[in-house]
Structure 1
Amino acid sequence: MDKELPFLVFIRQTIAEHYKNGYFFVLLGFLSLTIFFNFYFRLEKSLMYPLASHVSGIFIYILFYGFAYFSMLLLVLKNKKALWKSKRLWFLSLGVIVSLSVSATYFYITPIIHSVENPEHRYLVRKILVNSRNIFFVAFPALLLWRYIKDKEDAFFWFSFKKIKLIHYVLFLLPVVFLAYLASFSDSFLVTYPTFKTHLASNMLGIDKCIWKWIYEGLYAFDFVWVEFLFRGLLVIGLFQVLGRDAVIPMVSMYCFLHFGKPLGEAISSILGGYFLGLLAIYSRSIVGGCFLHIGVALSMDIFATLRL
């Protein structure tokens, strides 16, 4: 990687390289086809979601995310067969896929949720547990993965502020926030957002539900930190020494699959967003930019939706 290159030059060179190799055509063709089948036939919501409440759902999601990732990994390694022997490649890719698959299921918290009789309490407990489970099932395993692969010069969890200034992140964030504002006028957008609907919650434990909303938003924001760590950290920065800049291609594929349960517009935009954030992570060797942009977009969508209700 040419670290001395300006960021925009780095992006332009990488795009040209991926275009020349035909990666864009195959990636977009693959994702266009899978997006169509998923949203037309509602595959994830009708087939995957019911299995998420059972332990067998973990294995189904491993196949689901594995299909997304390894289909595109075959593309970037078609002339690099020796790289299939890389222990680092298998360790990180399978580690991330298993972490995502455990995170996608909720069989281990379902009994707790069902034990709550009050429907408003139950809604609140479900929201808090769903958004805090990744602290235990993803954050701790991710820490072990990071300690195994980190280089001496790496910042903790790849949280480095060195390469790109905050003003650059703000400039990247503003147009995306504007698009989120426009999307908030869609009825389908308001079905999903805000992700925490205060009128359905309760003042559990004597704590006002508005305070519970802010507790939830904090946990919700943390979710995006681990998403950035898994996708842009482990799969991009962690695998850069194996795959180079091509590490972003299979990452984008699986990142898009992660959004199959979201509105169609989010699934489509995740392709461009995932690609750009992947390049940003390679250039800066940091996930700070991705965390800032991801959390900024997510919270802005919640805020705009709340204002529209």
Structure 2
Amino acid sequence: MKQLTRYLRTYVSEYYHPGLYLSVALLLVASIAFNYAVNFENSIIDSYFGSWWRWPMYFATMAFPFLITCVFLHLFGLQTTWWRSKEYWFLFVIGFAIISFQRSFSFFDFIVGDMHRYDRLFTLKVIYKARSILFTTLPLLLFYYFYERKRDEQRSWYGLNFKPFDFRPYAVLILVVFVGIAIASFLGDLTNYYPRYLRTGGERFARLHDLPSWIPVLTYESIYGLGFLGVEFFFRGFLVIGFSRILGGHAVIAMVGSYVFLHFGKPISECISSAFGGYLIGILAYYSRHIWGGVVLHVALAWFMELFAWLQKVFND
């Protein structure tokens, strides 16, 4: 807990600016209100499901808050050279092209082909959860190896390194998350969205193949958890650790907006809380140069939501 408090105090003393934080807060409040008022992601962007148009749409959506926050940095005189940096624009285009491609890719019909409908549903749900590893983690690893590695004296691999670090701050956060999710599970928007496993047809898949019911549960939830490695690798690794060479610690606040926009298709309570969670984990990643604590925390958060939403349904039924 002392480490977490020290990171927070250090970060706030070095990088907090009331005008910047107010501007970012207003941007996020307006964006969240607009998204949930018109159901922007689920009704508009997702209406292009199966079309390549989703790629530029997601690129614009995910890149917008990051770029606007950088504009705020310039206007408040906190970082005024980023827009002249060729490296900034190179990383900006590469990074958001990768994450938007991952989010928009939906062409898996060649895999499921003529499968039984229960096999098809379950297989597609599992594959979609694996997209983060296939289309975010692997491309960023290659990008780091061929471009970033020679520029990174610490060889951090965007926080993916296995050098020892203090895990205790994350353990405290996991406990907080456990209690918070237990309370939040009584909110209708979360229990209507979770558990995601119930939408996979896993029980029918197990009956079709005469399998124990725990096998599809373990399969789906394992891939679901593994997918958060890609989330942390991009948002805390690439956007924070990668951009810190250009933006310094302000990379944390720049990342927060894009991370919030990632949650536009989820319950509004989860979307709002992602701003605070992303900010906090971003600070930890910035100082520790690690993302593994964030990965564990993110997986715990996801599995807790699955667990408590399932318990709510069991006891309510």
TM-score surpassing 0.5?
A: yes
Q: Is the 8 A contact 1:196 1:213 kept in 2?
A: yes
Give the Å deviation of 1:187.
2.6
Give the Å deviation of 1:53.
2.0
Matches within 5 A, 1:196-235: 196-197=197-198, 200-201=201-202, 202-203=205-206, 207-235=211-239
Q: Is the 8 A contact 2:235 2:255 kept in 1?
A: yes
Question: Residue type of the partner of 2:107?
Answer: Y
Match of 1:290 in 2: 294
Deviations 1:217-245 (A, max 9, x none): 11111111111010110111111121111
Deviations 1:61-89 (A, max 9, x none): 11111212211111123344432232332
Match of 1:85 in 2: 84
Q: Is the 8 A contact 1:194 1:306 kept in 2?
A: yes
- What is the SS of the residue equivalent to 2:196? coil
Match of 1:35 in 2: 32
Return 44-53 or 246-255, whichever deviates more.
44-53
Q: Is the 8 A contact 1:236 1:251 kept in 2?
A: yes
In 2, the alpha carbon distance for the partners of 1:75 and 1:278 equals 19
Give the Å deviation of 1:155.
4.2
Question: Residue type of the partner of 1:170?
Answer: A
- For the pair 1:132 / 2:134, whether they are aligned, the reply is no
Deviations 1:184-243 (A, max 9, x none): 122321221111117832126554442122111111111111110101101111111211
Structure 1 runs not aligned, ≥5 long: none
Return 148-157 or 292-301, whichever deviates more.
148-157
Aligned length: 303
In 2, the alpha carbon distance for the partners of 1:87 and 1:115 equals 48
- For the pair 1:180 / 2:177, whether they are aligned, the reply is no
Return 103-112 or 270-279, whichever deviates more.
103-112
Match of 2:256 in 1: 252
In 2, the alpha carbon distance for the partners of 1:110 and 1:264 equals 31
Question: Residue type of the partner of 1:94?
Answer: V
In 2 relative to 1, CA 209–233 (structure 1 residues): closer, same or farther, beyond 3 Å? same
Q: Percent identity?
A: 30
Return 18-27 or 66-75, whichever deviates more.
18-27
In 2 relative to 1, CA 248–197 (structure 1 residues): closer, same or farther, beyond 3 Å? same
- TM-score normalized by structure 1? 0.90
Return 86-95 or 278-287, whichever deviates more.
86-95
In 1, the alpha carbon distance for the partners of 2:91 and 2:222 equals 27
In 2, the alpha carbon distance for the partners of 1:112 and 1:106 equals 14
Match of 1:52 in 2: 49
1:305 aligned residue (298, 306, 309) = 309
Deviations 1:83-108 (A, max 9, x none): 22323322322222112211212431
Question: Residue type of the partner of 1:141?
Answer: P
Question: Residue type of the partner of 1:220?
Answer: Y
Match of 1:169 in 2: 170
In 2, the alpha carbon distance for the partners of 1:58 and 1:163 equals 37
Deviations 1:97-131 (A, max 9, x none): 1122112124312465574442x223201211101
Q: Is the 8 A contact 1:116 1:122 kept in 2?
A: yes
Matches within 5 A, 1:5-24: 7-20=4-17, 22-24=19-21
Question: Residue type of the partner of 1:162?
Answer: P
In 2 relative to 1, CA 110–22 (structure 1 residues): closer, same or farther, beyond 3 Å? farther
- What is the SS of the residue equivalent to 2:81? helix
Structure 2 runs not aligned, ≥5 long: none
In 2, the alpha carbon distance for the partners of 1:12 and 1:36 equals 31
Match of 1:274 in 2: 278
Question: Residue type of the partner of 2:310?
Answer: T
2:69 aligned residue (69, 72, 84) = 72
In 1, the alpha carbon distance for the partners of 2:194 and 2:35 equals 21
Q: Is the 8 A contact 1:235 1:247 kept in 2?
A: yes
Question: Residue type of the partner of 1:231?
Answer: F
Question: Residue type of the partner of 2:8?
Answer: I
Return 246-255 or 202-211, whichever deviates more.
202-211
CA RMSD of aligned residues (A): 2.2
- TM-score normalized by structure 2? 0.88
